[in-house]
Amino acid sequence: MELEYAGRNWLSEKKVVSAKIPKEVFSEMALRVPEGERSDFIREAIIEKLERTPKADVLLSLVERLSRVEREFGEIRKYLADLEILTYQRGNINPHTFCIDETDHKIIDYLLHYKGATTPELGEYLKINRWLVLNRLRKIQRKSKKQLGKPIIDYYAGEKAGKRKAWWIIEE
């Protein structure tokens, strides 16, 4: 029987190997394998095991390919998240898709939590100028209106929920 592994002839030059095996395994092998064939049996078992064990360089290249695929998949997920509008609880609109940076996200988080806020409240919370907050709110309003046909936030000058002249999340 000619044994080959990855194009190599495993029976070319032989080296002596000694192994300690449990007494029960040796007894089982003595029952099943005749005395003159035990070396061949052990050799074939080792070669069989090697054939099932991946080589280190192949394994390393697979790890590198998997890392590259994961990285590219992460980029695709990021692009999809940027483009995705309908990901917020059972088909509702995700207001964070209209945010540009961390400041916008904090504004939206505050509005989601308190349902509404005045620009001075938001400016104080974020520790930034209220005019910057106002500009950000208007940009979010314009961007959402352009993409959805209606804004996700709205300014109401009258009194609502104890606040006058405040911005509100539209919960439709």
Of 170 and 109, the one with more pLDDT: 109
The tokens describing 107, both together, are: 């504004």
CB within 8 Å of 161: residues ≥ 6 apart: 115, 116
For residue 59, the 8-state DSSP code is H
What pTM value is reported for the model? 0.47
pLDDT band at 87 (very low <50, low <70, confident <90, very high): very low
Q: Distance between alpha carbon 45 and the CA centroid of its chain, in Å?
A: 40
pLDDT band at 154 (very low <50, low <70, confident <90, very high): confident
The tokens describing 159, both together, are: 């009194």
The per-residue pLDDT of the chain, averaged, comes to: 82
CB within 8 Å of 129: residues ≥ 6 apart: 123
> Are 108 and 96 a contacting pair, CB within 8 Å?
yes
